[in-house]
Amino acid sequence: MDCDRTKLTMQLKKCLLSFALLVAFIVGGCTSNGTATETSTPASVTETTSVPTEVSSPQMKDLPVLEGKATVVMTVNGAPITIEVDGTNAPITAGNFVDLVQRGVYDGLVFHRVVRTPEPFVVQGGDPQSKDPKVPPQLLGTSGFKDPKTGRERTIPLEIKPEGAKTPLYSQTFESEGVSSPPQLRHTRGAVAMARSQSPDSASSQFYFTLTDLAFLDGSYAVFGYVTNGMDVVDKIQQGDRIETAKVTQGAENLRNGGK
């Protein structure tokens, strides 16, 4: 009986910890007013191919798309982190990231959020205002990439492909749509995914590395790639460390709708 109680207590503590981390994670992805200010809300992709060439929203059609895969090398503290970006399974999310890398958006940005205790969680960065050392640390994590063409923050739809599906699910979490299968791209250690606010379509430029397997985030946040080399570098990142450079070393030709 005591053994059963101990097991139940441990399970409850684990659930509470996961919930607390999730709540903190959602808050960490907010825009300046705490919610997404610009969203796109396409319900689905009309094509049955993995690349959404025809979609229900004109705004979504204009977003960068990665057709296939690309390799990004990010340098932090003088050491490289190699990321395989998967446009086959997350074409818009991967395209957005590769486009921002090519624009030089990530160069000089700070990792403003690092959570390793009480358990390993994430290393998060990508807030454009973190390039300015005069911006107070408490404001970091509240902005995204401002598209020079529109003068507004560019956001992308939540994009998660169920395992075995032909196309991703857009603008909906698996829970809200009753999807029971796991995602094709999961939150295993070394996953790279987009941070967002409570609105599904609020991701912009902020991303995170997972420091351990985080299955409870699967189906709610969009993974778009994995660290293939340099996870030891990620493990050493501290809050306040900067991305020195981020470069596309392979697959740049797979990007369409990109810009400078």
What are the extents of the domains in the chain? Answer: 2-256
The whole-number pLDDT of residue 192 equals 98
At 130, give phi and psi (nearest 5°).
-70, -10
186-242, pLDDT tens digit by residue?
A: 999 999 999 999 999 999 999 999 999 999 999 999 999 999 999 999 999 999 999
Q: Where are the alpha helices (DSSP H) in the chain?
A: 2-28, 58-61, 91-103, 174-177, 231-236
68-77, pLDDT tens digit by residue?
A: 999 999 999 9
The whole-number pLDDT of residue 22 equals 53
15-31, pLDDT tens digit by residue?
A: 544 545 454 454 444 44
**Range in 27-36, 91-100, 116-125, 134-143 the model is least confident about:** 27-36
CA distance linking residue 87 with residue 65, whole number of Å: 7
The whole-number pLDDT of residue 59 equals 56
Burial class (CB in 10 A: 0-12, 13-18, 19+), 8: exposed
CA distance linking residue 31 with residue 151, whole number of Å: 16
The overall average pLDDT reported for the chain is 84
Q: Are 112 and 239 in contact (CB under 8 A)?
A: yes
Q: Are 256 and 67 in contact (CB under 8 A)?
A: yes
Mean pLDDT value across residues 129-141: 94
Mean pLDDT value across residues 137-158: 94
Task: Indicate the CATH number for domain 2-256.
Answer: 2.40.100.10
The pTM assigned to this predicted structure is 0.82
Q: What percent of the chain has pLDDT over 90?
A: 74
Structure confidence at residue 62 as a pLDDT band (50, 70, 90): confident
Coil, helix or strand at residue 95? helix
